[in-house]
Structure 1
């Protein structure tokens, strides 16, 4: 499933295929999720995961510990 701000769509691609198609503005954050880095509003870190909130949306998603460090690095690179 692909989720936008207000809708969800059925997608035929596998996640690794979507990673290649979507490009640098998107990043895999768990075994089951890819996010748009431009839409991140906030990160809340806990011991086991990282909660990600988005601009103008009630939806949240969790990044696994494995992907957290890469996520922080990518967000820091985009700030400059």
Structure 2
């Protein structure tokens, strides 16, 4: 795909146009990426204060005891959002749901263990292992086929 950037002071905010002969998967992906507005920072609770955490620092987001937590490179924080809301706003190129209660940042996956019957073990760079539930195995396998982990 050719990409052309043209600077013009008449435009107050960026505008993108795609010229194509057919709607291909590549074009659909470009449209999806250009139209998504995922916040780069998340407000996390640390006791009585709020800490702003960049998405790149998130290792995983998980639910436990009816609360949602963010495990980051700086520690663990409480989030005031539900997992399904986070799934919608986190960058879909890097964040993937692996179970009903967990979303993983693919940038922190060190190794995949496919030897476990019917599931996948994900060894994280933090040393922990997260397990893909059977319900999400096919989704993870399709991501593997697309080469998203490389």
- Does residue 1:2 correspond to 2:77, yes or no? no
Q: 1:48 to 1:75 in 2, by over 3 A?
A: closer
Q: Which runs of 5+ in 1 are unaligned?
A: none
Moved over 3 A (4+): none
- Could you tell me how far 1:69 is from its partner in structure 2? 1.5
Q: TM-score, normalised by structure 1?
A: 0.83
Q: Which runs of 5+ in 2 are unaligned?
A: 1-68
Q: CA RMSD in A?
A: 1.8
> Mapping of 1:14-33 within 5 angstroms?
14-24=82-92, 25-33=94-102
Rg: which structure is higher? 2
Structure with a larger share of its residues in helix:
1
Q: Deviations over 1:39-64 (max 9, x none)?
A: 21111131243211122x11221110
Q: TM-score, normalised by structure 2?
A: 0.48
